[in-house]
Amino acid sequence: MLTTAHSRQHHAFEKSPSSHMKNLDRKLQQAMNNATSKYMQRIYPLGIQRSSSSLTLSSLSLSQNSNDSSLSSSNSSWEPKVPLLYGGTFSPWGDVMVSLEMRREDDDKVSDHDVEGGEEDFDCSEPGSLHRCSWITKNSDEAYVQFHDECWGVPVYSDNRLFELLSLSGMLIDHNWTEILKRRDMYREVFADFDPSTVAKMDEDAIADISGNKELKLAECRVRCIVENAKCIQKVAKEFGSFSGYMWGHVNHRPVVGKYRHHKYIPFRTPKSEAVSKDLVRRGFRLVGPVIVYSFMQAAGMAIDHLVDCFRFPECVRLAERSWGITNVAA
């Protein structure tokens, strides 16, 4: 026989059988939001606030597995969403670097009234200064700003530089872009300027030396991923002629140009990055989840995601047009 207290508790449960599940859902959602916030702090500089209401756990997944999805995205011709990078012919460094942000799944473009209408504009430009993407703030590190101004959004075609960008993008699991950029020269030194043929030959002693270097802040498992990816790149190069040819083939050798007016509309991942991720995993690559792949695509210039009012947007589009002879950008 139930006691009075137990009876009341049992009666209350019978009246609202879903209350327990609702509490669990709220706790799960809160945990997901906290995880999203911590993850975004690695990608965006301080001062940027983004709504995470449309994010799901899967959209932040950095696992090696990707859901099957079509190679075609919602973007036309130059699929407006892919990575960017500064490279070779046009870059003063001749290198390629990092992507700036992980984006959300919403691939919709921003309309003019959305931009003018409501959300806070995060532009922190001084009067008379260059107008940059809104995630570049007064608190942004100089290395981060320089990368935005000189590298992000310029197509990269060198196998070494693409390997570098893929490796750096994978490091976003543990570090933010500013930290990665500041250690870029050290990474190049220990990984032989990201020459796949050299890195692929690294033995256990070399792996131990790199992971044991506290300045690099790379766990042994991360170093092994980079070495394994170098071996995979060699196989891909034999099949396709080059790693660059393989990667750019996924976007028909045309950068995807995203004409975004607000940073909240830039996705973390796209159907294209999911498809690329799936194929990379199939070929044995590691640390190539769809979110990391999209960051890589942005960093390598495969996707141009500067905001349309950023001074770099028209410059990067012109570089892409010059490179491929393209005259029309998808609306």
What's the pLDDT tens digit per position in 10-67?
Answer: 444 444 445 555 565 566 556 555 554 444 445 443 322 333 333 322 222 233 333 3
Query: Which domain covers residue 204, as residue numbers?
Result: 44-324
The residue behind tokens 């990575």 is 83
Taking residues 191-205, report their average pLDDT. Answer: 98
Answer yes or no: is 310 a known binding residue.
Answer: yes
Is there a contact between 91 and 150 (Cβ–Cβ < 8 Å)? yes
For the chain, the domain total comes to: 1
Residue 172, in any domain of the structure: yes
Between the alpha carbon of residue 320 and those of residues 79, 81, 313, the distances in Å are 13, 14, 11
Answer yes or no: is 124 a known binding residue.
Answer: no
**Better pLDDT: 83 or 184:** 184
Give pLDDT, residue 18: 54
Give pLDDT, residue 32: 52
Cα(first)–Cα(last) distance of the chain, in Å?
Answer: 71
Residue 3, in any domain of the structure: no
Residue 123, in any domain of the structure: yes
Q: What are 214-222's contacts with CB under 8 Å, separation 24+?
A: 215/183, 215/186, 216/183, 216/186, 216/187, 216/190, 217/174, 217/175, 217/179, 217/183, 218/171, 219/174, 222/170, 222/171, 222/173, 222/174, 222/287
Residue 330, in any domain of the structure: no
Residue 166, in any domain of the structure: yes
Taking residues 134-156, report their average pLDDT. Answer: 88
Percent of the chain with pLDDT over 70: 59
Residue 92, in any domain of the structure: yes
Residue 15, in any domain of the structure: no
Whether this prediction's pTM lies above 0.75 is answered by no
What's the pLDDT tens digit per position in 101-143?
Answer: 333 333 333 333 333 333 333 444 454 478 999 988 889 999 9
Residue 35, in any domain of the structure: no
The CATH number given to whatever domain includes residue 169 is: 1.10.340.30
Q: Which two tokens stand for residue 299?
A: 């960093």
Give the range with max mean pLDDT: 51-55, 104-108, 183-187, 308-312. 183-187
